[in-house]
Amino acid sequence: MTPIQRIREDLAMAMDRDPATRTRTEAFWVLSGLHAVWWYRMNHMLWGWGWKFIARFISQIVRWWTLIEIHPAAQIGNRLFIDHGAGVVIGETAIIGDDCMFYHGVTLGGQGDIKDGRRHPKLGNHVTVGAGALILGPITVGDSATVGAGAVVLKDVPNGRTVVGVPAREIPGPKNRNRS
């Protein structure tokens, strides 16, 4: 996919997921979550080329500008949407699947434990993370899972489940029935 195609895909996704955004032009110019992800992609490329200091330096400028910190070494799939992104932090060894959505204040942070070379969480595809949620350590959040606002997730979350609270726990509901 060319960079222009990727930007078009991101703008279409933003229009789909953010009812407050009226036009693609508006999304292009004002959505800090899009800007942070676009700069992350460039920084991730620089990181991969071994230009680690430059990648980190630019990521810190982007953090100052967007209030979103994404480490250049993190692995992020396609169509991550960060809505009202202020305070989002994505750590160095975090892995994020395709079609995920974060609200403001989300942290994918380390806890000191290392598992499979990771200190940060791994999120599957189609994961939604609510405002202020903390997902800490080398845990896995499965495909189509939902993390409620303000939750502190310290253990793996199975596919399709919803977790809330401090510490996060599964809640009963239609999304959580008959799944394994």
108 vs 93: CA distance, rounded Å: 9
pLDDT for 44: 98
pLDDT score for 174 = 63
In whole angstroms, give the CA distance from residue 105 to residue 87. 4
Helix (H, G, I), strand (E, B) or coil at 43: helix
CA triple 119-124-127, angle to 5 deg: 110
Which residues of the chain are under the pLDDT cut of 50? 178-180
Q: Is residue 31 left, alpha or beta, with left meaning phi > 0 and alpha meaning psi from -120 to 50? A: beta
Angle between helices 52-66 and 32-48 (to 10 degrees): 170
pLDDT score of 116? 82
What pLDDT score does 24 carry?
A: 94
pLDDT given at position 35: 97
Kindly report the pTM of this predicted structure. Answer: 0.91
What lies within 8 Å, CB to CB, of 51 at 6+ separation is none
Domains located in the chain, CATH noted: 3-176 (2.160.10.10)
Long-range contacts of 120-124 (CB under 8 A, 24+ apart): 120/74, 120/90, 120/91, 120/92, 120/93, 120/94, 120/95, 121/94, 121/95, 121/153, 122/94, 122/95, 123/94, 123/95, 123/96, 123/97, 124/97, 124/159
How far apart are alpha carbons 145 and 179 in whole angstroms?
12
**Which pLDDT does position 176 carry in this prediction?**
58
Task: Give me the pLDDT at residue 180, please.
Answer: 43
